Amino acid sequence: MEMKIGTRRQFKWLKGVVAAVIILNVIDGILTMVWVFSDQAVEANPLMSHLIEANSVLFISVKMALVFLGTFLLWRFRKRALAVVAIFMSFLIYYFILLYHLKAMNLNLFQRLFD
């Protein structure tokens, strides 16, 4: 038997987490382009690496579309515990990616996490 969750209040809060994932994805895309175009980093994902070198607009469009479609799919299944866990995991991954970007920019706002 599958565990289902969700009150209106919980879903409102979860919607904010989904929005944060999308915002963090945009920030990651922009900062990735800054690092790649300044020759300070390379894109680790081979598909996305090809896209960023070929066309930066296509890169950010594909990145946005993939994350949007993923979060949309997870939102559709938000009454299932596994989807909720995946939403939170996505948030945590993008949050730590943002911290990594900040660390690379020498913005040691969260220095204790990386020491």
Nearest to 17, CA basis, from 64, 62, 75: 75
pLDDT tens per residue across span 63-101: 999 999 999 999 999 999 999 999 999 999 999 999 888
What is the percent of the chain where pLDDT is above 70?
88
How much of the chain is helix, strand and coil, in % rounded to 5?
A: 75, 0, 20
Across the range 18-34, mean pLDDT stands at 95
Q: Which two tokens stand for residue 20?
A: 């944060």
Nearest to 43, CA basis, from 32, 55, 34, 30: 32
The pLDDT assigned to 111 comes to: 57
Q: Supply the pTM of this predicted model.
A: 0.81
Q: Which two tokens stand for residue 101?
A: 């970007």
Residue spans of the domains in the chain: they are: 8-107
